Each structure stands twice: as C-alpha cells, then as structure tokens.
C-alpha cells in the first residue's frame, strides 16, 4: 500500500504512549494499534483531526504517500 502511517514516529516525538493517546482521542487501544501498524483500510477525518489535535501535528506528519516505483 502506498500510504505509510507514521503514527508511532509522532507518538515518539511527543513522548506519548498508545494508552495516553487512546484516552485523549477516545479510540480503543485495538483500533489505534490497527492504525499504527498500517493495517487500517480507512480513517475518518474526525479521527484524524482528534489525533492531530492530541499530538499537535498536521495530517502529513502522520500519513505519507510513497510513489510505487514499478
């Protein structure tokens, strides 16, 4: 998949645990874990907004498009 999720990078930069982010955003640990590992097929804008607010970042800090080189 050409979309890379850098949620773990931003969490490390902000020194925030998955538990803490889960509480601030209002998502379950399992749903955040699915997103963090890149296994999610979609994300709601409201969820992305809450994560960006909690981590004080922009969507581009979390999501990255990597061009396929084929």
Rg for the chain, CA atoms, rounded: 12
pTM for this predicted structure: 0.89
Which pLDDT tens digit goes with each residue over 3-42? 999 999 999 999 999 999 999 999 999 999 999 998 999 9
| 8 Å CB contact between 25 and 51 | yes
The pLDDT score that the predictor gives to residue 33 is: 94
**Which domain does 34 fall in, by range?**
3-65
Q: Which residues contact 11 (CB under 8 A, 6 or more apart)?
A: 17, 18, 21, 36, 55
Number of domains in the chain: 1
The CATH number for 30's domain is 1.10.260.40
């Amino acid at each position: 998949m050409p979309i890379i999720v850098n949620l773990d990078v931003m969490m490390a930069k902000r020194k925030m645990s998955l538990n803490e982010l889960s509480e601030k955003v209002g998502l379950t640990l399992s749903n955040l874990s699915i997103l963090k590992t890149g296994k999610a097929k979609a994300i709601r804008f409201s969820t992305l907004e809450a994560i960006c607010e909690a981590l004080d970042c922009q969507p581009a800090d979390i999501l990255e498009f990597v061009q396929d080189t084929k």
